[in-house]
Amino acid sequence: MALFRETADVSVRPATPGDENAIARAQLRAWRATHAELLGEDVLEQLDAAAVREQWAAAITAPPSPDHRVLVACDGPRVVGFAAYAPTGDGIEVVALEVDPDHRRAGHGSRLLAACVDLAREQGATHLTTWVLDQDEARARFLAGAGLGKDGARRELATGGPDDRSVGEDRWGAEI
């Protein structure tokens, strides 16, 4: 017999000091699960978990402006995903949105994206953008389902790995 919750115990809230550990864990697990082939295991193994935690701690406690936000998705009291966005003129750029692989397909990503849109609208933003790595078909489907589309902008990023390769990203956007 399956157990069901009588009420939903999922939420999105602003990140608070102490969330950086769960955010870093979710980010690193998500990258390893999704981008290992594209970025290379060697690149992912070189990521410094402590440095990632420190960067998220700084983003939470000392953002570059009041319009920069870090949000977390919770399943009960546990942080299982996060999103971060930065202002861009008349809009926002979602610079990160990840859900721990063990908690995907439960609506956390959709709730995070909707919260970004709601908060951005409150700040007067009219446009949302984000970047999608080549070969990330799941993210492309997720964003397309949310009403975003490629806007024609593309960039190449160096991976920093021993083979000095680069990866491509396409920018996706929507009016909000």
Domains, the chain, with CATH or none:
10-175 (3.40.630.30)
pLDDT reported for residue 1 = 46
User: How would you classify residue 89: left for phi > 0, otherwise alpha for psi between -120 and 50, otherwise beta?
Assistant: left
Q: Is the dihedral of CA 38, 39, 42, 48 positive or negative?
A: negative
**Which amino acid is located at 99 in the chain?**
V
Other residues' Cβ atoms within 10 Å of the Cβ of residue 35:
17
Distance separating alpha carbons of residues 153 and 130, to the nearest angstrom: 11
Over the stretch 43-74, which tens digit does the pLDDT of each residue have? 667 677 888 899 999 999 999 999 999 999 99
- The predicted pLDDT at position 160 comes to 64
Burial status of residue 88 (CB atoms within 10 A of its CB: 0-12, 13-18, 19 or more): middle
Placement of tokens 């970047």 in the chain:
131
Query: Rounded CA gap, 116 and 110, in Å?
Result: 10
- pLDDT (mean) for 94-118: 93
**pLDDT mean across residues, the chain:** 88
